[in-house]
Amino acid sequence: MSLKDTRGNGKVVERMIRGIKNRSISHAYLLEGNSSIDKLALAENFVKAILCKEGEGDSCECCSSCNKLNHGNHEDVIYLAAEGNSIKDEAVEELQSRLKKKPYVGDRNIVILRDADTMTLRAQNRLLKTLEEPAPGTVLILLSDNMENLTQTILSRCVIFKLNPYETMDYKNPLERAILIADMVLDRKPFYEIARQLADDTTGKDAAFELLDALEIWYRDLAICEYDSHHQLICHTDKIDELKRRSRLYQRSAVDKAVAAIEEARNDLNRNLNISYTIKNMILKMIA
């Protein structure tokens, strides 16, 4: 499969293709997203496009390089993954020895490093040397479920592509995401489905607080719309019909529980707890 045929994450794919066309390929990338995303497939499509000599910013799917990658036997593509629960220092040391050698058939050695967020601290510190002084033509692609487990020095040397699950739609603002999340909680969707929708809201504190604010105001409007007949207290008066329709489906106890979980999450963020953990813990409390 070529990059242009990849499902989802269109903006990321566009950036990848544009970088190849402009010959502005970085020495290190980080693809970050939850385990429901096929990060390996996207990485391999990216590598194919980089190595392909026939395509215009993408893979041709016909040349020998593309065929080798499609069959998993390209000599210049190196895979590294966790053994057991982590990637250890010794594995990175072996990788570095391989990278000292010239590519076998082309002009690039490319590494796809799966489970990057499981690297031990020693392994990360060792990899940093390669990121700081890569051999000419070397490209490292790190795949991670949670980049918060990686040191800032690693992150600062990578082009970071934050991936959304393929099912995630491009919601324009925090309110739209808040309504989506509230509806999924109401419909008792499985936790993993709700968690998929939170990728954009765990990238930093500002995004997380925006979601919490939007959720709390939405639940507040749901709680009072039945009694505020003149709409003097409701914030989202432009959505009054939606609020009335949805409010009939809620028990007051469910709204109270949701607001309590939001306030607890707000307090946890102010105490500098892990953002992803805090938001996901909030969802678990809301659906309990």
Split at pLDDT 50, 70, 90, the class of 36 is: low
Q: What is the pLDDT of residue 165?
A: 60
If you average pLDDT over residues 21-40, what whole number do you get? 88
Q: Please tell me the predicted confidence (pLDDT) of residue 252.
A: 87
pTM higher than 0.75, yes or no?
Answer: no
Give pLDDT, residue 74.
95
Q: Which of 36-40, 42-46, 242-246 is least confident?
A: 36-40
Residue burial 41-50, b: 16+ Cβ < 10 Å; e: rest: ebbbbbbbbb
Angle separating helix axes 174-186 and 205-224, nearest 10 degrees: 60
Say how far apart CA 87 and CA 95 lie, in whole Å: 11
> Which of residues 35 and 20 earns the better pLDDT score?
20
Q: Could you read off the pLDDT of 104-152 as tens digits, one per residue?
A: 998 999 999 999 999 999 999 999 999 999 999 999 999 998 898 999 9
Structure tokens at 48: 């194919």
Tell whether the model's pLDDT for residue 168 goes beyond 60.
Answer: no
Round the average pLDDT of the chain to a whole number and report it. Answer: 89
Q: What is the mean pLDDT of residues 71-97?
A: 94
- The reported pLDDT for the residue numbered 288 is 84
Rounded-to-integer distance, Cα 137 and Cα 101, Å: 12
Residue 164 scores a pLDDT above 80: no
Report pLDDT digits (tens) over 195-220.
888 877 777 888 889 899 999 999 99
- What's the pLDDT at 170? 47
Higher pLDDT, residue 142 or 175: 142
Sorted by where each begins, the domain ranges of the chain are 3-162, 174-287
Report the CATH superfamily, name and number, of domain 3-162.
Answer: P-loop containing nucleotide triphosphate hydrolases (3.40.50.300)
Q: Is the pLDDT of residue 193 over 90?
A: no
Q: Does the pLDDT value for residue 169 go beyond 70? A: no
Q: What pLDDT, on a 0 to 100 scale, did the predictor assign at position 117?
A: 95
- Mind listing the pLDDT tens digit for each residue in 225-283? 888 777 778 888 888 888 888 888 888 899 999 999 999 999 999 998 999 999 999 99
pLDDT value at 7 more than 80: no
User: Secondary structure of the chain: what % helix, strand, coil (to 5)?
Assistant: 55, 10, 35
